[in-house]
């Protein structure tokens, strides 16, 4: 059995009872007292009128007339003399009027009293009014109304109330059933979908039933499936890439090692060339493994950065010194425009140098001829670095992806130039870990510019 239906149905039933029972009780009380009052006023009026009409108890005819009148108005009458003895009455058999009440009547005050028929045990509401003859008290006139007259209309109203309450209850139960089914059906679907996702079936999607909380839960499940799927594909690609990247240098090394072992070279120069190929490939593998190690540490958030106020200019100059030889070898010109008194930034000096070396290395690697411009300036509490080359450039559609692991615009060229395809992914991670941002603009065959932006260290503000 569907549990939401039970819970909701139960809650609504309890609520209904909590509200309806006291409400019904109060309504019943109000109606009862309303009808009692109405009947009471009616018999008060009648007893007063009748008592005033009577002047003596001697006229049998008048007494009979009252009996007929009482019959016509569906009431009973009960007339007593000043001692409380019955003078006349309709067919009822009720007890005597108490002394107390007689006393009250003799003082000119009306009396309200409940009577009980000793035989039928039906009860009556009675109103007595003193009868006077020339200002002296001679007896009392009671008009009695059966309490059935009061209870019957009240019962009618109560029946109506109960009927409508039962109707409303069934209506509410029906609505609850429909509502909870509307809620639980998508929940069951989502449960099944999440179980499928847990099993690895990541193409599954749930229907989004509405724009409420259920809808957003459905959307969250779909997003989860989508993201997990993307992660899985990404991981697959990553492993495929790694094994490919490792296999290439290994096959080179194996090949050339065999050539050397079997003495398949003609000159000493050839032998040295093969050995340097092996050495180069070993170096590439070391770099690749280092890069992978860095990247995985960064992605797991396990890299330790020694953040401290750092002079970016100093770090940049050290990087430029290292890269200068490569530039000279390729015949590239270097122009630097470094603003004076650049404030410190919060960074890890070694990691910052790694970032700059990587960007400068790429600039040299992907530029055949021309210049590399390096600019550093300070503006609005931020330190900016620009590294601009006049190299092969990056096509616009590739720009959004160049910071992804193993993404290369031209695979064979990157390999030829000794790239691992991980450099920019590491750069982006490192820059962001040091609270900075990196952006790029590029024109094919004209050149590429990378920009770095770092907030000025708090201590320097």
Indicate the residue among 76 and 245 with the shorter CB distance to ligand ADP: 245
| 249 is a site residue for ligand ADP (CB under 6 A) | no
* Residue number with the smallest Cβ distance to ligand ADP: 419
Segment near ligand ADP (CB under 6 A), from 158-166, 222-230, 238-246, 420-428? 420-428
Residue 91 burial (C-beta neighbours within 10 Å; 0-12, 13-18, 19+):
exposed
Among 126, 186, 249, 423, the residue binding ligand ADP under the rule CB under 6 A is: 423
Residue 298 touching ligand ADP (CB under 6 A): no
Applying CB under 6 A, does 408 fall inside the site for ligand ADP?
Answer: yes
Closest approach, Cβ 252 to ligand ADP, in A, equals: 17
Cβ distance to ligand ADP smaller for residue 10 or 400: 400
362 binds ligand ADP, rule: CB under 6 A: yes
Question: How far apart, in whole angstroms, are the C-alpha atoms of residue 345 and residue 308?
Answer: 8
**Which of these segments, 53-61, 171-179, 201-209, 422-430, binds ligand ADP (CB under 6 A)?**
422-430
Q: In the bound complex, what is the minimum distance in angstroms from residue 360's beta carbon to ligand ADP? A: 9
Residues 129 and 106: their CA atoms lie apart, in Å, by 10
Scanning 77-85, 91-99, 293-301, 390-398 for contacts with ligand ADP by CB under 6 A, the matching segment is 390-398
Taking the complex as a whole, the smallest distance from the CB of residue 391 to ligand ADP amounts, in Å, to: 5
Pick from 180, 414, 429, 434: which binds ligand ADP (CB under 6 A)?
414
Based on the shown chain and the rule CB under 6 A, indicate whether residue 457 belongs to the binding site for ligand ADP: no
Return the range that interacts with ligand ADP (CB under 6 A); candidates 203-211, 244-252, 270-278, 413-421.
413-421
Smaller CB distance to ligand ADP: residue 49 or 244?
Answer: 244
Of the listed pieces 28-36, 188-196, 228-236, 360-368, which binds ligand ADP according to CB under 6 A? 360-368
Mapping DSSP onto H, E and C, the string for the chain reads: CCHHHHHHHHHHHHHHHHHHHHHHHHHHHHHHHHHHHHHHHHHHHHHHHHHHHCCCCCCHHHHHHHHHHHHHCCCEEEEEECCCCEEEECCCCCCCCCHHHHHHHHCCCCEEEEEECCCCCCEEEEEEEEEEECCEEEEEEEEEEECHHHHHHHHHHHHHHHHHHHHHHHHHHHHHHHHHHHHHHHHHHHHHHHHHHHHCCCCCCCCCCCCCHHHHHHHHHHHHHHHHHHHHHHHHHHHHHHHHHHHHHHHHHHHHHHHHHCCCCCCHHHHHHHHHHHHHHHHHHHHHHHHHHHHHHHHCCCCCCCCEEECHHHHHHHHHHHHHHHHHHHCCEEEEEECCCCCCEEECHHHHHHHHHHHHHHHHHCCCCCEEEEEEEEECCEEEEEEEECCCCCCHHHHHHCCCCCCCCCHHHHHHCCCCCCHHHHHHHHHHHCCCEEEEEEECCCEEEEEEEEEECHHHC
Q: In whole angstroms, how close is the CB of 406 to ligand ADP at the nearest point?
A: 8
In whole angstroms, the minimum distance from the beta carbon of 263 to ligand ADP comes to 35
421 binds ligand ADP per the rule CB under 6 A: yes
Q: Indicate the residue among 51 and 387 with the shorter CB distance to ligand ADP.
A: 387
Please give the residues from 102 up to 161 whose contact with ligand ADP meets the rule CB under 6 A: none
Answer yes or no whether residue 419 interacts with ligand ADP by CB under 6 A.
Answer: yes
Shortest distance, position 4 Cβ to ligand ADP, whole Å:
53
Phi, psi (5° rounding) for residue 229? Answer: -60, -45
| Cα gap 116→380, rounded to integer Å | 101
How big is the site for ligand ADP, counted in residues (CB under 6 A)?
22
Q: Which is nearer to ligand ADP, 47 or 367 (CB)?
A: 367
Task: Tell me which of 127, 146, 420, 429 binds ligand ADP, using CB under 6 A.
Answer: 420
- Considering only residues 12 through 71, tell me which ones interact with ligand ADP, judged by CB under 6 A: none
| Residues lying near ligand ADP in the complex (CB under 6 A) | 362-363, 366, 389, 391-394, 402, 407-410, 414, 419-425, 448
């Amino acid at each position: 059995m569907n549990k939401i239906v039970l819970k909701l149905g139960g809650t609504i039933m309890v609520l209904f009872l909590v509200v309806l029972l006291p409400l019904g009780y109060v309504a019943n009380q109000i109606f009862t007292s309303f009808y009692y009052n109405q009947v009471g006023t009616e018999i008060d009026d009648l007893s007063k009128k009748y008592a005033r009409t009577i002047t003596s108890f001697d006229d049998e005819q008048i007494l009979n007339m009252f009996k007929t009148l009482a019959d016509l108005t569906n009431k009973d009458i009960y007339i007593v003399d000043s001692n409380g003895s019955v003078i006349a009455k309709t067919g009822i058999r009720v007890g005597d009027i108490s002394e107390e009440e007689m006393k009250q009547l003799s003082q000119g005050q009306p009396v309200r009293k409940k009577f009980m028929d000793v035989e039928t045990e039906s009860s009556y509401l009675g109103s007595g009014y003193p009868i006077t003859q020339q200002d002296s008290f001679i007896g009392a006139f009671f008009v009695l109304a059966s309490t059935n007259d009061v209870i019957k209309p009240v019962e009618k109203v109560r029946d109506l109330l109960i009927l409508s309450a039962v109707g409303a209850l069934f209506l509410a139960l029906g609505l609850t059933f429909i509502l909870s089914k509307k809620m639980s059906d998508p929940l069951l679907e989502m449960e099944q979908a999440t179980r499928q996702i847990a099993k690895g079936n990541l193409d599954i999607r749930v229907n989004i039933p509405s724009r409420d909380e259920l809808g957003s839960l459905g959307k969250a499940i779909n997003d989860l499936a989508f993201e997990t799927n993307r992660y899985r594909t990404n991981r697959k690609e990553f492993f495929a890439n790694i094994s490919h990247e490792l296999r290439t240098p290994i096959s080179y090394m194996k090949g050339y090692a065999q050539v050397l072992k079997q003495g398949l070279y003609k000159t000493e120069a050839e032998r040295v060339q093969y050995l340097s190929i092996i050495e180069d490939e070993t170096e590439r593998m070391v770099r690749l493994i280092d890069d992978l190690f860095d990247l995985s540490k960064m992605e797991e958030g396990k890299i330790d950065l020694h953040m401290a106020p750092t002079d970016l200019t100093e770090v940049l100059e050290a990087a430029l010194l290292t890269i200068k030889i490569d530039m000279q070898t390729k015949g590239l010109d270097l122009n630097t425009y470094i603003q004076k008194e650049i404030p410190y930034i919060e960074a890890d000096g070694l990691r910052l140098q790694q970032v700059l070396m990587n960007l400068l290395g790429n600039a040299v690697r992907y530029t055949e001829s021309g210049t590399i411009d390096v600019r550093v300036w300070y503006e609005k509490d931020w330190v900016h670095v620009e590294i601009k080359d006049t190299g092969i450039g990056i096509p616009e559609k590739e720009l959004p992806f160049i910071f992804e692991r193993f993404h290369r615009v031209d695979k064979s060229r990157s390999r030829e130039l000794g790239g691992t395809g991980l450099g920019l992914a590491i750069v982006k991670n490192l820059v962001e870990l040091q609270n900075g941002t990196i952006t790029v603009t590029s024109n094919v065959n004209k050149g590429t510019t990378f920009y770095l932006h770092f907030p000025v260290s708090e201590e320097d503000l």
